[in-house]
């Protein structure tokens, strides 16, 4: 089964262009080093009709939206190898020079897939 790194990131709307540039650069890096899939999804319908909802959980401020992002790998070991290569290349290039969001408010974790529609699983 695949392994997934997931991110939930509040982003000021005024920083969407900067975030999008960073996300496209990130996609190139992760895919270059072997990730199976890379996805960046911007909030569209965040007014939850049930449950806590992302707006409340993330304490989104006026003028902010959020990204739900994930990277898919073959396994946790594969994730560790790919992420090490990505981080090495990021450090060598000095990019991104600054994050277009508050890193302290980002939520991140690694997940074992239990159910997947990916062929071969």
pLDDT value at position 88? 95
For residue 98, name the pLDDT band (cuts at 50, 70, 90).
confident
Taken as a whole, the chain contains a residue count of 121
pLDDT at 67 over 80: yes
- Return all residues near 64 (Cβ < 8 A) that are at least 6 apart: 10, 11, 12, 13
pLDDT at 93 over 90: no
Tokens of 85: 């290569």
pTM above 0.85, yes or no: yes
When pLDDT is averaged across residues 80-108 and rounded to a whole number, the result is: 90
For residue 81, name the pLDDT band (cuts at 50, 70, 90).
very high
Rounded to the nearest integer, the mean pLDDT of the chain is: 93
- Residue 30 φ/ψ region, left for φ over 0, alpha for ψ in the -120 to 50 degree band, beta for the rest: alpha
pLDDT value at position 108? 95
Structure confidence by residue, pLDDT tens digits, 7-65: 999 999 999 999 999 999 999 999 999 999 999 999 999 988 888 889 989 999 999 99
């Amino acid at each position: 089964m695949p392994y997934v790194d997931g991110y939930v990131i509040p982003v000021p709307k005024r920083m969407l262009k900067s975030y999008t540039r960073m996300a496209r650069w990130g996609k190139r890096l992760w895919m270059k080093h072997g990730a199976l899939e890379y996805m960046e999804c911007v909030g569209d319908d965040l007014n939850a009709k049930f449950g806590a909802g992302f707006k409340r959980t993330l304490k989104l401020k006026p003028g902010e939206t959020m990204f739900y992002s994930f990277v898919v790998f073959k396994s946790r070991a594969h994730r560790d190898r790919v992420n090490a290569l990505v981080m090495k290349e990021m450090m060598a290039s000095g990019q991104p020079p600054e994050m277009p969001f508050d890193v302290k408010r980002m939520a991140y974790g690694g997940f074992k897939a239990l159910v997947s529609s990916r062929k071969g699983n």
